């Protein structure tokens, strides 16, 4: 089974900050990595697919990079609406999937 880890588990940041979240897979998953944003009481929302492709309608301040085992989600300038929990998800072993444990971004 492919295991996913994320770091940090939480972070505090200010509006305008550049934020970076890391996701690591237990084995190479090529670029089969997706990122989601979840706000309290809401369903997750797809932000990035295939490691670096921006989902339609998602602001360009969100970007993804990486391949193999190490991946990064970057928010170039944090906005008030970006305070949320972010999850990575591997799809290399489709149709078997695994989510990372999540990274909570809150206000400093």
Partner 1 sequence: QLQLQESGPGLVKPSETLSLTCTVSGGSISSSSYYWGWIRQPPGKGLEWIGSIYYSGSTYYNPSLKSRVTISVDTSKNQFSLKLSSVTAADTAVYYCARVSGLEAAFDIWGQGTMVTVSS
Q: Which residues bind partner 1 (CB under 8 A)?
A: 1, 32, 34, 36, 38, 43-46, 49-50, 53, 55, 87, 89, 91, 94-102
Q: Can you read off the two tokens belonging to residue 45?
A: 């929302």
Nearer to partner 1, 35 or 82 (CB): 35
Nearer to partner 1, 13 or 46 (CB): 46
Contacts of 76 (CB under 8 A, 6+ apart): 18, 61, 62, 63
Nearer to partner 1, 66 or 100 (CB): 100
Cis ω before 66 (30° cut-off from 0): no
To partner 1, the closest distance from the beta carbon of 86 in angstroms equals 11
To partner 1, the closest distance from the beta carbon of 62 in angstroms equals 14
Burial of 83 (0-12, 13-18, 19+ CB in 10 A): middle
């Amino acid at each position: 089974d492919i295991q996913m880890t994320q770091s940090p588990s939480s972070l505090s940041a200010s509006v305008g900050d550049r934020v970076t979240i890391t996701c690591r897979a237990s084995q190479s998953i090529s670029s089969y990595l997706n990122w989601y944003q979840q706000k309290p009481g809401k369903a997750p929302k797809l932000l990035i697919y295939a490691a670096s492709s921006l989902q339609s309608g998602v602001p360009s301040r969100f970007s993804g990079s990486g391949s193999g085992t190490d991946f990064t989600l970057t928010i170039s300038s944090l906005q008030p609406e970006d305070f949320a929990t972010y999850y990575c998800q591997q799809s290399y072993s489709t149709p078997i999937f695994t989510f990372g444990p999540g990274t909570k971004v809150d206000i400093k």
